């Protein structure tokens, strides 16, 4: 016959030397036990959102700077026909066109009473494709035997409306005595004109 456990001990417990704990590991959970507090991720989420916005803002700023630098680089690209890098060679009195502005024939190179070279009378008409009012500024290079005698700058009103004409004032500097112009180049002083870049 089996021996009964001492009074006060659980008859089904195997090890009599272990204290009796009704909620020991593997037992029933304690309904009064507090759960660990939930972590609050608000600060982390705010920092991530601010960081994301700053990253997008920085990316946009970099893109804007790159775009602006590219445009500034293009603004000094003077490669349209009639620009300083592609000056037109014209005969005295010949009509010509640059950037959609038509310059009438009949002008001439002469010397003022003070001895300065001048070009005129020179009239221009705005016939641009974009139909915008634009200003004009020309430079004539006057040569004798492949030697530059003078440059004559021509300026007009602040802007010439589409399909309107204006007279330009074209006066240079003191001409060398006995100068005879035998070659004339003309170019527009505008730095960039995308409308007529490839004409």
Closest to 179 in 3D by CA, of 139, 150, 138, 137 = 150
Q: Which residues of the chain have pLDDT under 70?
A: 1-37, 69-79, 191-199
What is the model's pLDDT at position 21?
57
Provide the pLDDT for residue 90: 92
Rounded CA separation 104/167 (Å):
10
Tell me whether residue 91 is exposed, middle or buried, using C-beta atoms within 10 angstroms of its C-beta: 0 to 12, 13 to 18, 19 or more.
Answer: exposed
Please state whether beta strands 96-98 and 165-174 pair in parallel, antiparallel, or not at all (unpaired).
unpaired
**pLDDT for 74:** 47
pLDDT at 91: 92
Question: Which domains does the chain carry?
Answer: 84-196 (2.60.40)
How many CB atoms neighbour CB 187 within 10 A?
A: 22
3-state helix, strand, coil in the chain (%, to 5): 20, 30, 50
Q: Phi and psi for 28 in degrees, rounded to 5?
A: -75, 145
Helix boundaries (H) for the chain = 42-75
Whether the predicted model's global pTM rises above the 0.75 cut: no
Dig out the tokens for 194 from the structure.
């995308």
């Amino acid at each position: 016959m089996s021996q009964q456990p001492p009074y006060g001990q659980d008859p089904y417990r195997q090890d009599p030397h272990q204290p009796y704990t009704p909620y020991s590991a593997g037992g029933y959970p304690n309904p009064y036990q507090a759960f660990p507090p939930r972590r609050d991720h608000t600060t982390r989420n705010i920092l991530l959102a601010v960081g994301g916005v700053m990253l997008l803002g920085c990316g946009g700023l970099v893109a804007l700077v790159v775009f602006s630098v590219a445009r500034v680089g293009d603004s000094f690209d003077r490669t349209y026909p009639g620009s300083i890098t592609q000056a037109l060679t014209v005969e005295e009195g010949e009509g010509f066109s640059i950037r959609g502005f038509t310059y009438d024939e009949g002008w001439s190179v002469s010397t003022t009473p003070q001895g300065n070279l001048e070009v005129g009378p020179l009239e221009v008409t705005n016939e641009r494709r974009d139909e915008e009012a634009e200003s004009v500024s020309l430079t004539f290079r006057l040569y004798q035997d492949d030697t530059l005698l003078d440059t004559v700058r021509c300026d007009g009103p602040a802007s010439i409306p589409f399909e309107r004409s204006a007279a330009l004032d074209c006066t240079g500097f003191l001409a060398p005595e006995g100068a005879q112009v035998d070659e004339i180049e003309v170019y527009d002083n505008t730095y960039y004109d995308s409308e007529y870049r490839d004409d």
